[in-house]
Amino acid sequence: MATFKKGQSFKGQRVHVSGVFDQKGPGMTGKNVAFSISNDTREPEDVITNPMLVYDKYTDKEGKEKDTYTASYSAKQWEAIEQAANKDGDAMVVEADLFPNTRGKGLIVNTNSLKTPENAFDMTKHRENTVAVRDAKKAARQEQQAQPEAALEA
């Protein structure tokens, strides 16, 4: 699940659609949607390194446990997402308030708070920003772990 810093708001978050699938089953007409925090327009200090809103598991027909990144949205909610989305870039992107998923792990998009962002989604910039901050965090952890070892050797 997207990890927000303490005090960072869930309101007005720029999120893009990473994947969308028709719901299957009797009477199901909605979509299962994988949303990700969009790091393409964020400053490095605000980049979220685990940007998917949902990280969960499900059991397939053969009984194997698999990863899922989707949350369920009704047909009406999906229609609202499609109408509000900026579709000019690499993926549909919206601005929305997020809240904890009451039917599973992660965060979901409040479809009553949708806004259309001016800027289209840029996947290349999103990946560059996400990877750069992940690498910086990893280097900082490694440096921090090396400091106690260096003190012992001195």
Residue 24 has pLDDT above 60, yes or no: yes
For residue 37, tell me if it sits in a domain.
yes
Instruction: Evaluate whether residue 139 is within a structural domain.
Output: yes
Query: What is this structure's pTM?
Result: 0.86
Chain mean pLDDT for the chain: 91
Residue 151: pLDDT band (50, 70, 90) is: low
The strand pair at 71-73 and 65-68 is best described as: unpaired
Cα separation, 21 vs 33, whole angstroms: 6
Q: How many domains does the chain have?
A: 1
Q: Which residue has the higher pLDDT, 3 or 122?
A: 122
In a domain, 51, yes or no: yes
Domain of 33, in residue numbers: 13-153
Q: Is residue 8 part of a domain?
A: no
Average pLDDT estimate for 82-98:
98
Domain membership of residue 3 (yes or no) is: no
Q: What are phi and psi of 145, to 5 degrees?
A: -70, -30
Residue 148 lies in a domain: yes
